[in-house]
Chains A and B, each alone.
Chain A
Amino acid sequence: MALSAKKLKVGDAHTARLVEDLKRTQIVQYAGASGDYNPLHTDEVFTTKVAGYPSVFAHGMLTMGMTGKMLTDYVGDARLTKYGVRFTNQVWPGDTLDSTATVKEIKDEDGKKIAVFDVSTVNQNGVVVVSGYAEARVDD
């Protein structure tokens, strides 16, 4: 199910919904699995009374992880060679996120075809929460 360089065009885009109405419990799940127990993500008392935020918020890495599913569903298993993001806005419980990969370039590297993508994840207000890139091996 891998992508084919012949069929890909610069500007082609793939979009997927990552999450609807993000639950606090999913943030707790991510804390447990990743080992990042920063109370800013799970401890409402600490986050509102001590840290001064309106509520707990998601780990940036949770959004990067969810965005990774959009990518691997698109490019195929074990095909990513690079993936990087900037965390541009916070993700809050209740947010609904959509993510898009857009083909930026198709290049040859060591005799293999590599597709380069711009990656962007936005919330329900159209605000970009994660912005980055990915590269993946594609078939000829």
Chain B
Amino acid sequence: MAAKRFPVEASHILMFARSVGDDNPVYSDEEAAKKTEAGGIIAPPTFAQSSAQFDPDYFLRPKIGQPWFGSGGEPTGVKREPGGGGRGGGGGGGGLHAEQHFEYHRHLKPGDVLTATTQPGKTWERESARAGKLVFSESVTEYRDQKGELVITARGVGVRTERPVDSKA
């Protein structure tokens, strides 16, 4: 995920925390958060992934005036754009998300304005009984704050599968 400007906002943190079922007041209640060790509202550990919202080219968001591969009344027949399966760690572009790793240099808080830069990493292949040939690709995203300091390092691995994963698990 590349984003020139990812403003971390309290309302976004609230929505994100709700979506993962986390009612910890440190993500929503400023007064309660002040009394915690965090000293104020912070973002949940996986929040940085929502930098997708601020990536202008993120291919898993419908864009105004452009074809979208999800269905309307019926399937549209629009093919997915080939986007790097490992970009920013989000599985997409015909792929799934295989791994995600975060290293926290500090925790995000409202008012931070981040930049996210992504570099491609390794790629490798493996045969799988459940999904045929798997092609993995890695990417590393650095999130820096308004002072240019590294706050989170994220490493994602995406996988493209030859066929849908057989999940009778």
**B16 and A34: CB pair below 8 A?**
yes
**A60 and B91: CB pair below 8 A?**
yes
**B45 and A66: CB pair below 8 A?**
no
Q: A-facing mask of B90-103, CB < 8 A → 1, else 0?
A: 11100011111111
**B99 and A52: CB pair below 8 A?**
no
Q: Give the contacts of A74-119 with B (CB-CB under 8 A).
A: 76-87, 89-90
CB-CB under 8 A for A51 and B169, given A34-B52, A37-B60, A39-B71: no
Q: Does B64 contact A (CB under 8 A)?
A: no
Which B residues lie within 8 Å of A140 (CB)?
A: none
**A51 and B164: CB pair below 8 A?**
yes
CB-CB under 8 A for A68 and B46, given A36-B52, A52-B163: yes
Which A residues lie within 8 Å of B21 (CB)?
A: 18-19, 26, 66, 69
**A46 and B70: CB pair below 8 A?**
yes
Chain B positions within 8 Å of A, measured between CB atoms, are 12, 15-16, 18-22, 24, 26, 36-38, 42, 44-46, 49-53, 58, 60-62, 69-71, 74-75, 90-92, 96-104, 107, 155, 163-165, 167, 169
Chain A interface category by residue count: 35 or more
Nearest residue in B to A50 (C-beta to C-beta)? Answer: B75
Listed by A's residue number, 11 A-B pairs whose Cβ atoms lie within 8 Å are A37-B70, A46-B70, A61-B97, A61-B100, A73-B24, A77-B37, A83-B46, A83-B101, A84-B101, A85-B101, A90-B167
Chain A positions within 8 Å of B, measured between CB atoms, are 2, 18-19, 26, 29-30, 32-39, 43, 45-46, 49-54, 59-62, 64-66, 68-69, 71-73, 76-87, 89-90, 125, 127
CB-CB under 8 A for A59 and B97, given A80-B104, A89-B169: yes
CB-CB under 8 A for A127 and B169, given A66-B21, A69-B21, A72-B45: yes
How far is A45 from B102 in the complex, measured between Cα atoms in Å?
33
**A35 and B61: CB pair below 8 A?**
yes
Which A residues lie within 8 Å of B37 (CB)?
A: 2, 76-79
How far is A112 from B155 in the complex, measured between Cα atoms in Å?
25
